[in-house]
Structure formats: structure tokens, C-alpha cells
Amino acid sequence: MFGLLLNMNGNSIYKELLDYCGYTPNIATSSTFVQQRDKILPFAFEFLFHEFNESFKQHKTYKGYRLLAVDGSDLNISNLEEKKMSIKH
């Protein structure tokens, strides 16, 4: 359920179910999906959010922020600040 919820693209629930489940004939109905989704406590999403962020604590930060590229792209941060500091010394 969480995998489906996190991967939804803004289509109708039925279209998302079809995409996620591979267009199988015995797919759940939209109503069933909504009923099951409503059983998830809001705390579950908060917990998942914090656990996800904790998994990146060992990574470097940029000006105190952890930068994540979530669209599949790579994020290259210039080391210009480091170069400026080494020039001054």
C-alpha cells in the first residue's frame, strides 16, 4: 500500500491501480483501495518520513541542508566555497 501511495502520479485511483498491479484481471476496486488507505494512521507517514531522513544522516550537507535529488537526476554541488577558502590562506 505504501509503495503504491508513494508512486502515484496523479491519475485516477483505478488507473494507478492498473499501472501498479500490471493490468491483471483480478485487480482491487477503487473503493477497496480507499477503504484500505483510510486504515493507515497519519503517524505511519510521519514515521516513514523520519526513517527516510535518518537514512541520510551520514551524507554531507550543503550549508547545513541535506540535498536529495528525487527525480532520478544527480546533484552536483560546486566546491567553489572550498576553493575560495584555500585561496585566502
What's the pLDDT score for residue 60? 76
- pLDDT tens for each residue of the chain, 89 residues long: 888 998 898 899 999 999 998 888 888 899 999 999 999 998 999 999 889 888 877 777 778 787 766 676 666 666 655 555 445 44
Tell me the whole-structure pTM to 2 decimals. Answer: 0.58
Q: Which residues pair with 52 in a beta bridge?
A: none
Please list, residue by residue across 40-70, b when 16 or more beta carbons sit within 10 angstroms of its beta carbon and e when fewer do: eeeeeeeeeeeeeeeeeeeeeeeeeeeeeee
